[in-house]
Amino acid sequence: MRESTTPMIEALPLAGKGRLRVGEQALAVALFAMAIIAWFHPQELALSVRASLATVALLYLVAAVALARTTQPMLALVREFLPVPVVPFIFLHLGLLIPLVHPAHYDRQLEALDRLILGAEAQAALYSLPIPAWLADVLTLAYSTFFFLPIVLLVALVRAGDPYLPRVTSTVVLTFLVSYAGYFLVPAYGPRAGVAKERYASLPAGVVGAPIRELLDHWEKTKTDAFPSGHTMVTLAVLYCARRRTPRLYTAL
């Protein structure tokens, strides 16, 4: 097993100059921005939250700089996977910070824009279409697994020793961060908390649909994340990169 993975690891690009990639720089800026926002609101946020944000920001920067200087193939592999725990950490803390920066909600305006584009009749029909239990299961699974798509792409490119892996990683990371920035600019709960609230609550349980939705509702602390759709943005970014770099994976996805 070790012999089979060694060529793939050795094929990874090595910087060795201490230069942070665009995606790494963006992650560092995002983490420090979140820490600064938190420390400017000591009354609203507990010390543990403020300390964790600052600590993760510092640890990430130190790790990113150290890995950028590495000449060891195994550490180069660690570098490629470093954003994997950091991106969800950022997302899980957005819900605490968004109300401090922009306490407004834009659900009414987005619903009005939706009606303007689709028409009132089409909007009403969209939220009243019958959905069988099996389809609810499929859609819920698709929704819940979007974060794993970039990891699948990352693994595929690592296995192939793709020289464009750093660019792909930065592209996906930037896509996540742009969607998160949108949550600050246009906070909105989305249709499931507004025009489609009753429809969401009445979705058929299915085999795995209901438990997964309950789990997501519990663990997703950031509720005003409807616009822009990070699920759509990240999925399209992954598909675009997969189509360019690994057509087989693109076909499978």
Instruction: Give the pLDDT confidence of 51-98 residue by residue, as tens digits.
Output: 999 999 999 999 999 999 988 989 999 999 999 999 999 999 999 999
The full set of domain ranges for the chain reads 2-252
CA-CA distance, 177 to 56, in Å (whole number)? 17
Q: Does the global pTM surpass 0.75?
A: yes
**How far is residue 236's CA from residue 246's CA, in Å, rounded to a whole number?**
15
Residue numbers of the chain with a pLDDT score lower than 50: 1-3, 16
State the Cα–Cα distance between residues 196 and 130, nearest whole angstrom. 13
Tell me if the bond preceding 228 is cis, omega within 30° of 0. Answer: yes
**pLDDT of the residue at 102:** 96
Residue 104 phi, psi (nearest 5): -80, 165
CA angle 219, 191, 211 (to 5 degrees): 35
